[in-house]
């Protein structure tokens, strides 16, 4: 068998796939029905699916205390492997080692897998939040997830039995790492740049994607189709927008679209590193990191997610960062530019962000034509027009969305 030209998975020669299929799955599913049930949050369910499909290679299950502590403190598992954010499962009671449990989605009530418990331990939630999110502020959506965890973390290897509704509901984009790797291999790509998306693609995203396309064999537009915070645009609408943009404005054989089942953690720099880890498992050699990657509000500096990549030790991560400066529309330049290419002043610039777009659309405001492609704006206006008044969520602006933070770095 010919050696693959693709990058190896993180910490492994092969993908660690924990998803059972066929007869094995049927037998384990039958056995799972007789086991005590442990109900998971949507974040934990998404993590389990990623464990199943090999997205979290080389992990074999939910992490124990030594891994949790090492990752929070130094981004190292107990065996020394780089990993930036703990992958844990919580429960309201302590379970004895050797106990087997049935893992159930709290959202769909579906049996998702089984786990053999190796350890139960309690954690310092504030320590995890300050380590991972750089804050314990209760308003931070990632902090809220950690603080709402139950009293005990339960560790152990898992067998995964389902990918939930993702393969059917997002059939146009949902992919396993083995599938994206097969496509990249068939196309002869050696260098693949991943674009992380949790918003519909506005012109700034499009510009980042096309810069990456110029310097890579291929572009992997990888959309999050898990849960977001209130006020964000739901996954089905985002997928429709991005598909429309790719169909009309990208070279077809130079781009692949994919979707993955995680919830956003809004972890800023640490989450940017996690994005690179699992993109390596999906076959990507580079991770595009632009302004305020995986950020929320003003919790992180606009380029903190780039800086953290420079601070990694040699050999920590094979997937490399593709750093791109602050991008915006310049009326004098007559197009999309960056801080490195535009000589004009702030008064000539239109700063683009998903937050600004969502706020303007939710309030029925005018959207400049330079902000996004007309086909995308039409889809988004249709979505916002259908939201009932009582279901609307106030969208707060922050410095990275308005361009105010740009003043600090443009001097």
How many Å apart are CA 290 and CA 321, to the nearest integer?
A: 10
Q: In Å, how far from its chain's centre is CA 127?
A: 23
Q: Is 121 helix (H, G, I), strand (E, B) or coil?
A: strand
- DSSP secondary structure string, 13-30? SS----B--HHHHHHHHH
Q: Which of 43, 176, 199, 203 is catalytic?
A: 199
Q: Tell me the Ramachandran region of residue 181: left when phi exceeds 0, alpha when psi lies from -120 to 50, beta otherwise.
A: alpha
What interhelical angle do 374-385 and 235-249 show, nearest 10? 160
Measured from the Cβ of residue 294, the count of other Cβ atoms closer than 10 Å reads: 24
Instruction: Record the tokens describing residue 92, joined without a space.
Output: 């309201």
Of 406, 342, 331, 327, which is closest to residue 370 (Cα–Cα)? 331
Label residue 3 exposed, middle or buried (CB < 10 Å: 0-12, 13-18, 19+).
exposed
How many Å apart are CA 295 and CA 282, to the nearest integer?
A: 23
- Return the HEC string of 51-71: HHHCCCCCCCEECCHHHHHHH
Residue 131 parent element (H or E): helix 125-132
Cβ neighbours for 246, distance < 8 A, ≥ 6 positions apart: 221, 255, 257
Reported for 363-371, long-range contacts at CB under 8 A and 24+ positions apart, including other chains, are 368/329, 370/203, 370/329, 370/331, 371/202, 371/203, 371/329
Give yes or no: 199 in active site: yes
Burial 67-98 (b: 16+ CB within 10 A, else e): bbbbbbeebbbeeebbbbbbbbbbbeeebeee
Give yes or no: 198 in active site: yes
- DSSP secondary structure string, 189-219? -S-EEEEEESS---HHHHHHHHHHHHHSSEE
Q: Which of 43, 176, 181, 198 is catalytic?
A: 198
Q: Which residues are catalytic?
A: 198-199
């Amino acid at each position: 068998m010919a050696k693959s030209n693709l990058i190896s998975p993180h910490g492994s020669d092969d993908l660690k796939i924990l998803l059972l299929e066929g007869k094995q799955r049927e037998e384990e599913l039958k056995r799972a029905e007789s086991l005590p049930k442990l109900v998971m949050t949507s974040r934990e369910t998404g993590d389990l699916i990623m464990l199943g499909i090999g997205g979290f290679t080389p992990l074999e299950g939910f992490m124990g205390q030594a891994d949790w502590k090492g990752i929070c403190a130094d981004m190292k598992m107990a065996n020394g492997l780089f990993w930036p954010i703990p992958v844990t499962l919580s429960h309201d009671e302590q379970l004895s080692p050797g106990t087997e449990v049935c893992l159930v989605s709290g959202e769909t009530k579906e049996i998702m897998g089984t786990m053999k418990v190796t350890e139960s331990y309690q954690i310092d939630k504030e320590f995890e939040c300050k380590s991972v999110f750089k804050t314990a502020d209760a308003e931070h959506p990632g902090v809220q997830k950690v603080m709402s965890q139950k009293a005990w973390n339960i560790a152990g290897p898992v067998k995964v039995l389902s990918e939930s509704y993702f393969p059917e509901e997002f059939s146009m984009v949902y992919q396993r790492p083995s599938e994206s790797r097969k496509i990249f291999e068939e196309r002869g790509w050696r260098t693949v740049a991943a674009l992380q998306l949790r918003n519909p693609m506005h012109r700034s995203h499009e510009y980042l994607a096309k810069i990456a396309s110029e310097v890579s064999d291929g572009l992997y537009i990888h959309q999050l189709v898990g849960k977001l915070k209130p006020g964000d645009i739901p996954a089905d609408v985002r997928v429709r927008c991005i598909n429309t943009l790719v169909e009309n404005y990208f070279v077809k054989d130079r781009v692949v679209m994919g979707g993955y089942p995680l919830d956003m953690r809004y972890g800023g720099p640490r989450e940017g590193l996690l994005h690179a880890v699992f993109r390596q498992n999906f076959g990507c050699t580079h991770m595009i990191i632009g302004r305020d990657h995986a950020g929320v509000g003003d919790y992180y500096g606009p380029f903190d997610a780039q800086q953290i990549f420079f601070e990694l030790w040699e050999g920590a991560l094979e997937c490399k960062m593709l750093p791109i400066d602050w991008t915006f529309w310049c009326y004098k330049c007559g197009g999309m530019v960056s801080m490195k290419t535009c000589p004009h002043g702030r008064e000539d610039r239109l700063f683009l962000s998903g937050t600004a777009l969502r706020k303007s659309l939710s309030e029925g405001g005018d959207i400049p034509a330079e902000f996004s492609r007309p086909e995308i704006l039409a889809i988004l206006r249709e979505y916002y027009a259908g939201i009932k008044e009582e279901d609307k969520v106030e969208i707060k602006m922050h410095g990275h969305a308005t361009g105010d933070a740009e003043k600090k770095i443009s001097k």
